[in-house]
Amino acid sequence: MSESTPPKSRLYQLRVCDGPSCGVTHESEVLVELAERAIEGDPALKGRVGVCNYTCFGRCEDGPNLFVHELDEEDDRYEDPDDDVLEEQRGFYTDLDAEKLGRILNEHCKSGEPIPDLVGDY
């Protein structure tokens, strides 16, 4: 995407960890459901932001974890990204709850910029 692309036209896939720790211990499925409802109810997000499970980020002690994956038009929205994408794009969030998820949707997914006080390195 070029730098002139307005943030509102960017496509994102929220990848929520569903590994043994995040999925069972941290109940990450609740976050998926919250995200789906929020996206469906917000015209600025609907059609631009999707949500799916991700096998495991390997950061179980920090869970539940989520990665905001900025997509290109040709990207498969449900295919796991290559590891280099996780390292190159800034969008890894840990220790999620409903409040942080709301901020990610309303700030990162709408502005196109990671949230400095929440985003971490993968």
**pTM to 2 decimals?**
0.86
Residue 4 pLDDT more than 50? no
Count helices and strands (H / E) in the chain: 4, 5
Q: Is 119 domain-assigned?
A: no
pLDDT average, residue stretch 113-122: 93
Residue 43: which domain range? Answer: 7-114
Q: In what order do the strands lie in the sheet with 49-54?
A: 49-54, 11-17, 66-71, 92-93, 119-120
Number of domains the chain is built from: 1
Q: Is 122 domain-assigned?
A: no
CB atoms within 10 A of CB 106: 15
The CATH code of the domain that includes 103 is: 3.40.30.10
Q: Is 29 domain-assigned?
A: yes
CA atoms in the 13 A half-sphere facing the CB of 47: 4
pLDDT tens profile 91-115: 999 999 999 999 999 999 999 999 9
Q: Is 2 domain-assigned?
A: no
In this predicted structure, what is the pLDDT of residue 21?
83
The secondary structure of residue 116, as a DSSP letter, is T
Q: How confident is the model at residue 118 (pLDDT cuts 50, 70, 90)?
A: very high
CB 122 within 8 Å of CB 57: yes
